[in-house]
């Protein structure tokens, strides 16, 4: 199947996702379940990686600013810009694409090969709306909080790294973080996060929903979904940066 056909099936799937909604009680239960599975259970990995990557960014920046004429506050400024612009929204989304994407594809794919989706269709339930829409809403509304947490912990990790290593003082780092603050950068990061969250929910769902075969094919589809989700995120990141920052 060529790429154009895949793209067409993907958008046809999205059209069906947003039609014929389920009853409010059923949808609410599914939404809370997805928030727990896709959001709350990702807090730990995002917090852990954000803290240490923030420290690494600050240390590498400090080690490359050896000139005495360059103020130490630029370390905090550079770390802040790197974390807000790219690390928190893009790198965290790629991590979530690997963790969450494989889960979504395997769970929906297993339902497909065990004919549970066929049973939903026989009962007159819009299976795409029932399975995919709660995932979309859970990721789109919850992942901005994860990214904001990643920003905070990344900057905090940079501060801790500087204080413990002695390469720069905490006061200089905080002064750099406060330097030339542009609120639009936060808006830019949140916009990217919303787009990436939508992709993380829908691309793996597409691969899982249309899988054919048995458990082996479900495993292959999970791998493909992670790869393609990351590819689409990187492409979307380029175009969003081009549109919002230039």
Question: Is the Cβ–Cβ distance between 66 and 172 less than 8 Å?
Answer: no
Nearest Cα to Cα of residue 47 among 80, 86, 96: 96
Whether the pLDDT of residue 1 is over 60: the answer is: no
- pTM score, whole prediction: 0.90
**How sure is the predictor about 154, in pLDDT bands with cuts at 50, 70 and 90?**
very high
How far is residue 61's CA from residue 75's CA, in Å, rounded to a whole number? 6
How far is residue 147's CA from residue 144's CA, in Å, rounded to a whole number? 5
Q: Which residues contact 195 (CB under 8 A, 6 or more apart)?
A: 236, 240
Average pLDDT of every residue of the chain: 88
pLDDT, tens digit, 9 for 90 and up, residues 202-222? 999 999 999 988 888 888 999
pLDDT, tens digit, 9 for 90 and up, residues 93-128? 999 999 999 999 999 999 998 888 888 888 888 888
How far is residue 73's CA from residue 167's CA, in Å, rounded to a whole number? 12
How far is residue 154's CA from residue 48's CA, in Å, rounded to a whole number? 9
Query: What confidence score (pLDDT) does residue 150 get?
Result: 92
What is the token pair recorded at 236?
């979307």
What is the token pair recorded at 18?
């947003």
What is the token pair recorded at 183?
């609120």
Question: Is the Cβ–Cβ distance between 78 and 61 less than 8 Å?
Answer: yes
Query: What confidence score (pLDDT) does residue 47 get?
Result: 92
Burial of 238 (0-12, 13-18, 19+ CB in 10 A): exposed
pLDDT, tens digit, 9 for 90 and up, residues 144-153? 999 999 999 9
């Amino acid at each position: 199947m060529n790429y154009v056909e895949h793209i067409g099936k993907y958008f046809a799937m999205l059209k069906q996702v947003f039609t014929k909604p389920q009853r409010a009680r059923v949808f609410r239960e599914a939404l809370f379940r997805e928030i727990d599975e896709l959001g709350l259970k990702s807090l730990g990995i995002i917090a852990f990686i954000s803290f240490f990557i923030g420290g690494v960014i600050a240390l590498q920046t400090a080690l490359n600013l050896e000139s005495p004429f360059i103020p130490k506050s630029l370390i905090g400024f550079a770390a802040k810009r790197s974390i807000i612009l790219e690390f928190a929204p893009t790198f965290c989304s790629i991590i979530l694409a690997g963790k969450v994407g494989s889960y979504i594809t395997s769970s929906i794919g297993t339902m497909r090969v065990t004919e549970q989706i066929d049973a939903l269709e026989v009962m007159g339930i819009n299976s795409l709306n029932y399975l995919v829409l709660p995932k979309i809403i859970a990721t789109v509304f919850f992942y901005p909080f994860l990214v904001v947490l990643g920003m905070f912990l990344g900057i905090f990790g940079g501060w801790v790294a500087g204080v413990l290593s002695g390469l720069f003082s905490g006061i200089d780092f905080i002064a750099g973080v406060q330097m030339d603050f542009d609120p639009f950068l936060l808006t830019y990061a949140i916009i990217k996060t919303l787009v990436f969250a939508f992709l993380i929910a829908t691309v793996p769902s597409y691969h899982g929903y249309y899988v054919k075969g048995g458990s082996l094919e479900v495993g292959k589809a999970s791998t493909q979904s992670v790869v393609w989700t990351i590819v689409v995120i990187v492409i979307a990141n380029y175009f969003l940066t081009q549109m919002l920052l230039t």
